[in-house]
Every structure is written in C-alpha cells, then in structure tokens.
Structure 1
C-alpha cells in the first residue's frame, strides 16, 4: 500500500489513491498457500478486484441511477461468490469486490478518466501481486533446511468447476442478495448519507458458503466494525495530513492480512479504518457525518444480516430434523 500511494502523493494525484488501494487489496488473498498455487489464487483475485473497480468506474461515468447501481451490485455479488467458490479463494467472501464496486461507483468520474483510473488500479494490483509472490524468491535464496526460518504453507486451494451447482453457494448468494436489498432499501428510506455502507456491512456479517450460521460470529463482526469506527474517529477527526492517511491504510491492510484468517471480528477493527480512510480519500466529506453514517449503517446492515443468520440457522435445523425423522 505505502509505495503506490506515496508515488501518487508525490505526483499530486491523491484523488487516484482509492484505485491504487483497491488494486492493492489483491494482497489479501493467497495467504499460507504454496507459491505455485498462490500465483493462481492471487491472479484470480486480482482479476476480481480489477473487474469490480472497472465496473464501478463505468457506472460512475454513466451517472447510473440507483436502480442500475443496485442491479450492478447484485451482479458483483453473484459473480464474486461464484468466482471465490470456484477458485477456492480465501477470504471466502466477496466483501472486497463489493467494497471496490460500491466506492468506485460513488466517486464522480468523467468518461475520459475511466481508463487512467483503471490503469492506476492495475498498477496497484500488479505491485501487490509481485510483493505477495516475493516470498518465493526469498525461499529460493535461503533454503530452509531446518524448517525454522519460514512458516509452513499448508493451505491447498482446489478449483471446483461445479461450484455453480452447489446449493450452499446459491444459499449464500441468496442471503446476500436479500440482505443488501433490504438493508440498502432501508438506508435509502431513512435518508442516510452513505447507504452503501449498510450493504457492505451485510456482506461483512453474513458467513461465506458452507460456514456455520453463528449469531456469536455475527455479533463479533458487528462489534468489530463499531470498534473500528471509533478508532477511525481518533484518526480522522483531528484532520491529519495525507501521510497519516497513507499510514492508516497501510496499517489497516497489514492488520487485515494478519487477522482475517484467525478472527474476522478482530480483523474488522483494521478493515474499518482502512475502508473509511479509503472512502474519505476517494470522495472527501465531513468526517463527523461519515462516522455517524458508518455507525448507523453498520447497526442497520448488521441487524438485517443477523436476522438472516438466525432465520437460516432455524430453517437448516428444521430441514435436518425432517431428514432425521424420515424412515430409513
């Protein structure tokens, strides 16, 4: 994150920082995978991030109405879940694709700026790809004969070309589509200034395909987001210089990478400042309003997602009970 954003600051193009940042989120994928498999995972994730950025840019340039933006969001969710499930990517959520699309679609963009901004995203993603794969060179240069120098790489992602036929995949897609429509609709009706945050909160809270529908995990994610907003308030309210914002994005990315595979709620403590700072860079707005909107929309999106989690868990339990009660 730091190097591409520093280049943009020196070049006087802070307004392009949001695209470099989303491209750089490519580095969130492929952790703990052997490098021959990581190359595939990170490349697929990069295409997903760039596709989301490009789609959002086109929507922004067209000045797409809310209905079109909503249909675009639904398409990003469907394709994002299918892409992740087919390629076996981790994190197993389309959160970052949704985040890239929603923010890029909100930043005012002229048609002649679509390609330059997308190329900034490409440069950020390519740099992230190189950094993510650089460990291969380190391991080649310093063979770990004793097994103590480098950590093991146990994750073995597998490609599942039949993922589109998996009922759990479509259950996850259905949950997210219902959740974002309900949460986004309520946010628009209430008149909240940044309704897409409610949408992002839904996707952040709902479990990926095949994961347990746990209310405790949902609460962890909600509280992690709210705590992240409080941390962001301490950073943004004093009106820091751009270098502090870049450092915040870098630390947020680092914390997200370290924690996202261990405790998603704790990871949101870093993801939220990262997300809000990126949003603030891309489309500056009064910080107090941004933070209040984020808390309200987190509560709204989280509540909608929690209802969906509870309802789905109850439905799955009833279905299991019916199957268990059938005669053999």
Structure 2
C-alpha cells in the first residue's frame, strides 16, 4: 500500500500547478533519500549498545521466504483486483486521484483476513476517514507557524502509533489529517474543503472496491 501512496503523493507534490512546480522533483528526491537514510540510521542506533548486538539476527529465509504460499497467492489476487478495479473507478471519479482509491482498497485487502473482517476494515476505513477529514478541516484553518505545524505532525504520528494496532478506524482519524496536512504544506496549493471531500469520496470508493475483492476471493481457511 505504501508504495502506491508514496508514488501518488510524489506525483501530486511535484506536479505543475498553474504552469509552475511548487517543488522541484530533484530537490524532492534528495529530501526523500536523506529522510530515508536518517530513518535507517535512527532504527539502527540501538546496535551501538552491546546487548542488542548479542541478539541472534533473523535469517534471510525467514524474513523473505521464497515460497509462494496459497495465502500469498490469495493476497496477490485480491491486490490485483483492487489495482485494476480501483484504476477503472478512478477514470469515472478523477484519474489524478487513482492512487488514493487504490490505497484505500489495498488497506482493506492487505492483511490475510476473511471476508467478514475485510468488510469490517472497509467500514473502519470509511468512518475513520470521514471523521479524520472533519478533524483536518478544523486544523487546516488554524494559522500555525512552521515550528507549530511540525509539532502538530509529530503529535498526530505519535497518536497513530499508539492506536493503530488497537483500533483501525481510530488510527485513521489521525492518519487522514496527517496526510492532508503534509500535502498542503508540501504544495502550498491545496484547497482545504475540496481536498477533504475528495479524499472522503476516494476512500469510500476504494473501500468498496477492496471489500468487493475480499468477498470475491476467499481465503483457504474459509473453505
């Protein structure tokens, strides 16, 4: 899902608005690369402590198994259906927003869950995005200085990490304004209300596509 999301956001942030680019693609790539390198260094920092270096590393075969199991085949088929159907739906809604529709669908089918759980994730995705869009509207109209915006983004990210494994819809209440605020800050051209309404519509369509894909393709455990 995140590959699709990053691809779509990158295209939107570096695209031309009114004949000019708000962000130069080369500068954008440099910032993304530097941020990724910093994140890797931050994650690896505990290895400076001897007690972490003594832990046995997980073998490559365990992290990246070469066998394509029946479960992997099911998830791949569901994802393929979401990709094709999501792009087809975006032709009707707005081709430029196809990445968000596909992401919403992949979020529903990206885990090895049965049809009932997938349908619940679709509802969570929709409800969480609607509430998160409302929260974004409340935050976007507050004139925040740059340092306060950075602090707000950090608070939203912290809230996401605290609740994402406990309640998916609640996590989306914070994920939605985080992503929309990032888009607005990066481009400087995002219209607040239309942007929120577009993302809500895209999520509803994508969640419906993902739920339909999960209902169409059963997990082996459901047979």
Q: TM-score of the superposition, structure 2-length normalised?
A: 0.77
Cα distance in 2 for partners of 1:195, 1:243 equals 32
CA distance in 1, matches of 2:98, 2:128: 19
Does 2:214 correspond to 1:309? yes
* Structure-to-structure mapping, 1:104-119, within 5 angstroms: 104-106=10-12, 107-108=14-15, 113-119=24-30
Could you tell me which of 29, 33, 36 is aligned with 1:122? 33
Deviation at residue 254 of structure 1 after TM alignment: 1.8
Counterpart of 2:166 in 1: which secondary structure? coil
Output the CA distance in 1 between the equivalents of 2:88 and 2:147. Answer: 36
Note the alpha carbon deviations across 1:152-208, whole angstroms, 9 max, x for none. Answer: x9xx79323324x22322321221222132223223313476343212211222232
1:132 counterpart = 2:43: yes
TM-score between both structures, scaled by the size of structure 1: 0.55
Q: How much does 1:295 deviate?
A: 0.9
- Offset from partner CA, 1:16-42 (integer Å, 9 cap, x none): xxxxxxxxxxxxxxxxxxxxxxxxxxx
| Closer/same/farther in 2, CA of residues 205 and 244 from structure 1, 3 Å limit | farther
What does 1:34-53 correspond to in 2, within 5 Å?
A: none
CA shift, 1:103, in A, is: 0.8
Taking the TM superposition and a 5 Å limit, the aligned residue runs for 1:1-328 are 95-106=1-12, 107-108=14-15, 113-137=24-48, 158-163=62-67, 165-191=68-94, 194-208=97-111, 210-213=112-115, 214=117, 215-283=119-187, 284-313=189-218, 317=222, 320=223
**Structure 1 residues 118, 226: CA separation in 2 closer, same or farther (over 3 Å shift)?**
same
**Contact kept in structure 2, 1:205 and 1:222, CA below 8 Å:** no
Q: What is the aligned-residue RMSD (CA, Å)?
A: 3.0
How many residues are treated as equivalent by the alignment?
Answer: 207
CA distance in 2, matches of 1:97, 1:159: 19
Give the distance between the partners of 2:131 and 2:49, measured in 1 at CA: 37
Contact 1:221–1:265 (8 Å) recurs in 2: yes
Indicate conservation of the 8 Å contact 1:98/1:200, yes or no. Answer: yes
Mapped partners of 1:206, 1:124: distance in 2: 29
Taking the aligned partners of 1:139 and 1:266, their CA distance within structure 2 comes to 38
Q: Give SS of 1:180's match.
A: helix
Contact 1:252 1:274 in 2 (8 A): yes
Question: Contact between 2:74 and 2:219, CA under 8 Å: does it hold in 1?
Answer: no
* 306-315 vs 267-276, greater mean Cα deviation: 306-315
How many Å separate the matches in 1 of 2:202 and 2:6?
18
Relative contact order (C-alpha < 8 Å, sep 6+): which is higher?
2
Please tell me whether the aligned partners of residues 153 and 178 of structure 2 are also in contact (alpha carbons under 8 angstroms): yes
Judge conservation of contact 1:251–1:270 (CA < 8 Å) in 2. Answer: no
User: What is the CA-CA distance between 1:289 and the residue it aligns to?
Assistant: 0.8
